[in-house]
Amino acid sequence: DHITAILRYEVENKKTSHAYLFCGSRGTGKTTCAKILAKAVNCEHPDNGNPCGKCAACLSADSGSCIDIVEMDAASNRKIDNIRDIIDEVAFTPSKAKFRVYIIDEVHMLSIQAFNALLKTLEEPPEHAIFILATTEVHKLPATILSRCQRFDFRRIEPEKICERINVIAKAEGFKITNEAAALIASAADGGMRDALSILDLCLSASKDITEDTVAEVCGMSGNEYLNKLSDAIIDGDANTALSLIDELYTGSVDMMRLAVDLAAHFRDIMVVKTVSTDKKPVVCSAAQLEIYKEKAARFNIKDIMRAQELLS
């Protein structure tokens, strides 16, 4: 929201920049936002800065037939010759749209020579040209490129918002998903909406009625029930139960590296519940699981929790 509000204002008031830099972790909407911005600046009847989606410019952008919106993947077009092609093109006025928009994805993959060739054009582009650069690794970009762009940092999407989106999709597509399953998908996605939707797709191929067990099975997770038992066995020093559970999980094709990661995250959640005194705990889980965490937090020693995390890491 903090990014789209600014972009809407710029489009509505015709104060768009000549170069944008969208950076942030994977699956947070950088390329999608770039495409919508490209559509919005060329829209014939923008609605409060949003593209109308009905005019000829919007329809051609949606179908991919608009030759004035150029999308390039820098991972496979990283050479200076690829950038020279853009520089040669950019001088020409758009054929039909208001702006010629260049979206360069994974821009950090460009070679040093390609960056140098792009510099002058980014600094003094024609009035009809807009560059939108997207990257997951902003630290790899030269300072000279950074200084010429209006930068937007895309944050990881909050688990609650991912859960909301999953429920909207479930309603639209006509399948059922429990709140616990949606929370588990949001947790596994690590702030990326694209990852969340990929996991949801996998779950749908397994069942039209998605539960926590469905998600755990599809992702190769061990599930909260096993993590709860395993953490109890570890804290109690019950090697017999711990090894029996690990054997059961291994036989069930649970990835052992994933188990270590899940278990470390499980102890982290117990640590947070034990440490944070407010009612609103920064933990992604169901209400029932939160109660289990509270019970464990009261019983476990903080030093034991920290030691378990350290060893698992």
The pLDDT tens digits for 93-134 are 888 889 999 999 999 999 888 888 888 888 888 899 999 999
Separation CA 241–CA 232 (nearest Å): 9
| CB-CB contact of 170 with 163 (8 Å) | no
Q: What are phi and psi of 36, to 5 degrees?
A: -65, -40
- Model confidence at 220, in pLDDT bands (50, 70, 90)? low
Span 216-236, average pLDDT:
83
Mean pLDDT, residues 124-147: 91
Integer Cα distance of 50 and 47 in angstroms: 5
Residue 222: the pLDDT is 62
Q: What is the 3-state secondary structure (H, E, C) of 94-115?
A: CCCCCCEEEEEECHHHCCHHHH
Model confidence at 216: pLDDT above 80: no
pLDDT band at 219 (very low <50, low <70, confident <90, very high): confident
